[in-house]
Structure 1
Amino acid sequence: MGVSTAGTPCISQPCLNNGICQDYIRNYICSCLEGYEGTNCEYAKNECHSKRSKGCDHFCRPGQEFYMCSCAKGYKLGKDHRSCIPNEKCACGILSSKSNVTLTDAKLTLQNFPWQVKLTNSQGKDFCGGVIVQENFVLTTAKCSLLHGNISVKLSEDGTPGAPLEIKIKNKHVHMRYDQEMKQNDLALLELNEPIQCGSNGLPICIPEKDFAEHILIPEKMNVVSGWTFNGTELGDSLIDLPSVYFENEKCEEILNVTVTTRLFCEKSKATVDWQLVEGSIVMAEHKGTWFLIGIMVSLPTEKLGPLYLFTKISRYSMWFEQIMQ
């Protein structure tokens, strides 16, 4: 049903896809043909639309008659075939009820997300960031993974006093096509000696499917760029979280003097800051209560047009993740 305050709204032909418009007093109703739905019959029932009010909680794929929903790791599809219900202790992308993240255009926050970790060398010095993508795997940049031979992951203690928990790295899986000069495939998965204890020491963030990430999360959301900054020569204690939006590839190339390939994208922070985020910082997006990883930083921000960041597009590496983390 469509509603309008105009006198005869059907004159403007608001009903799409051959829907039939009926004028009422100060409103109108669209009667949709079979296979279409929405206020103005704008949605085909078998296609995925991000603005559909009762769409999928997580992932959507077109079907023959109706679109089909699926869920990230650790979730099951609800009886309505749309909602995603956590069914594992390590279900990804969930913030605790005491965490309250409100995104505004230019507000900097200090929210410690449970999936973000520090990388520490054998001398106990923190040098890069990383993100938990499975209970026994942390994602960072290839560059960070190659800085030191012996690396540990420093986990959150969820507010518990005392030293943070550290877990040693068992294996480094640097992407086989990593190209430092071209900033391509700058990824490494660090395999932990032992799995994290989900809930008390951290949680994984969700990895999105390609279409969901590139058509909904990256271009349509206000995202969060998050990472640590250096406090002198040490990494600070709190994460810096910056609201950000997608920035056009052509303009980004001109400003950063890089080639933005299909495996890279740019984000522009909406907040003005004086710090530089460390390597291994991330950009993530929240969708219907679940947080998804969409990029990991491969370059530092420029001063030419506010904080501008270049990221590796995580959604282009789903097969690589599966091969290593299976």
Structure 2
Amino acid sequence: MLTMAGCVPPPLAVLGLLVLLAPHAAWPTVFLPASKAHELLARWRRAGSYLLEELFEGHLEKECWEEICVYEEAREVFEDDETTDEFWRTYMGGSPCASQPCLNNGSCQDSIRGYACTCAPGYEGPNCAFAESECHPLRLDGCQHFCYPGPESYTCSCARGHKLGQDRRSCLPHDRCACGTLGPECCQRPQGSQQNLLPFPWQVKLTNSEGKDFCGGVLIQDNFVLTTATCSLLYANISVKTRSHFRLHVRGVHVHTRFEADTGHNDVALLDLARPVRCPDAGRPVCTADADFADSVLLPQPGVLGGWTLRGREMVPLRLRVTHVEPAECGRALNATVTTRTSCERGAAAGAARWVAGGAVVRKHRGAWFLTGLLGAAPPEGPGPLLLIKVPRYALWLRQVTQQPSRASPRGDRGQGRDGEPVPGDRGGRWAPTALPPGPLV
């Protein structure tokens, strides 16, 4: 055998070996590259998923109970709109109309993921809560600023320098001195108390003839500054200094005729400027409103106290977030009587600063800032609330003074012209059920 094997020619042996090895070389490898394996598995998974979906098409338990389904998947199960809608209302939380959300005899119709109210004549709103002729501060589709009820429908008006939009409800600034607006150069939203900030554009300082700042004030029109009567009587010659350091001479002072120096009652005065403030560079006025608008709409919202505090002999601006305090609670905290012409605000560390009279509490409402309070005498130190002059209570007096044909009042003739008396024929509007601010219709 050995001899015979040894006699096999070498070329034939090599050829036989190649024949034996060739099938093994042609077999595929056991492990595929990762990319090839992924493609194969992915294709198989998609094919299997498609086949399973076809097999279980219309299977409600799989579509909507084992996992969350969408409306179209439920529709494939029932193949009928009415049956699908009935199932869908239950599937998405039952029947909302069962709680009777439609008010004032409105009818309710369940719909997918909600309900729809059909209001009785004379009512409107998502839940038919609003009478068409009344003003409601909570309605989001109502007047942006001021509202007046009417026999069939309410009407809207805007604060000074704003005009009604095409919808007759929105208010758009149309004047460089439009009240209550802030330019891009102005104030960041206060976070607690922040010193060394730019004051609000309506904040001003009162300066005597020697150039000493002694009180604060609030620009309510481009030519009128509101301050306390006490501040207005401290010096014979007063100038107003805006935040841009413009100084404007005061040519006339209107002190409220019922101001009582001993008690501090009606401690308000208007300074008539010799020339208007240049808007918006030198400043911008704040918006004013009547008492009922303030009580119903503004006071429930948080406010900002922007004023001046003493740092040594220097008056520096300070802003503080505040919230309204009810009169009874405020009276107990301060052991004082809170009248209808005063209001209370509480803010963190309010009593820690040395406030200067003439600071202002403002509140933002739908894009405009409104004045609600004026800081009178320096508040006592401590954590208690701040007692302020309730400016909206003086709205009629403010309008009478600023709308007089001859604005200037000689400083020796303060308070004449029946300051503080209602404007004849001015009836105003009403929030349901309280009065609204009578502002000019624009």
Do Structure 1 and Structure 2 share a fold, with TM-score over 0.5?
A: yes
Q: Partner residue of 1:147?
A: 234
Given the two structures, how large is their TM-score scaled by the length of structure 1?
0.89
Equivalent in the alignment of 2:51: none
Letter in 1 for 2:109: Q
**Greater shift in the superposed pair: 272-281 or 59-68:** 272-281
Counterpart in 2 of 1:72? Answer: 159
Deviation at 1:258, TM superposition (A): 2.5
The 3 A distance-change label for structure 1 pair 301 and 36 is same
Equivalence for 1:161:
none
Change (3 A) 1:97 1:35: farther
Residue 367 (structure 2) aligns with:
289
Partner of 1:257: 335
Q: Whole-Å Cα distance in 1 between the matches of residues 105 and 235 of structure 2?
A: 63
Residue 323 of structure 1: which of 400, 414, 430 is its match?
400
| Residue number among 292, 315, 320 corresponding to 1:235 in the alignment | 315
**Cα 1:43/1:205, change in 2 over 3 Å:** same
Letter of the structure 1 residue corresponding to residue 142 of structure 2: G
CA distance in 2, matches of 1:13, 1:41: 11
Distance of 1:234 and 1:197 partners within structure 2: 25
Report the CA distance between 1:255 and its aligned residue.
2.1
Kindly indicate whether the alpha-carbon contact (under 8 Å) linking 1:57 and 1:288 is maintained by their aligned counterparts in 2: yes
Is 1:207 paired with 2:285? no
Work out the CA distance in 1 between the residues paired with 2:360 and 2:271.
16
Q: Provide the rounded CA distance (Å) in 2 between the counterparts of 1:80 and 1:271.
A: 43
Equivalent position amino acid for 1:300 in 2 = A
> In the alignment, is the contact (CA less than 8 A) between 1:300 and 1:310 conserved in 2?
no
1:176-215 Cα offsets, whole Å, 9 max, x none, are 1012333321101111122111111111111113322121
The aligned counterpart of 2:202 is 115
Matched, 1:181 2:259: no
Is the contact between residue 334 and residue 384 of structure 2 (CA under 8 Å) also seen in structure 1?
Answer: no
* 8 Å Cα contact 2:193-2:318 kept in structure 1: no
Matched residue, 1:193: 274
The residue type equivalent to 2:179 in the other structure is C
Identity of counterpart residues, as a percentage?
48
Write out per-residue CA displacement over residues 11-33 of structure 1, whole angstroms, 9 at most, x where no aligned residue. 22222111112234542222211
1:214-248 alpha-carbon deviations (Å, 9 max, x no partner): 21111x21111110100112212xx2111111101
What are the Cα deviations for residues 118-145 of structure 1, in whole angstroms up to 9, with x where unaligned? 0111121111100111111111001111
Matched positions, count: 313
Q: How well do the aligned residues superpose, as a CA RMSD in angstroms?
A: 2.2
> Structure 2: any 5+ residue segments left out of the alignment?
1-88, 404-442
* SS of alignment partner, residue 312 of structure 1: strand
Higher strand fraction (1 or 2): 1
Give the greater-gyration-radius structure (CA): 2
Return the structure number with greater helix share: 2
SS at match of 2:352: coil
Maintained 8 Å contact 1:7/1:25 = no
In the alignment, does 2:299 pair up with 1:222?
Answer: no
CA contact (8 A) 1:179 1:186 kept: yes
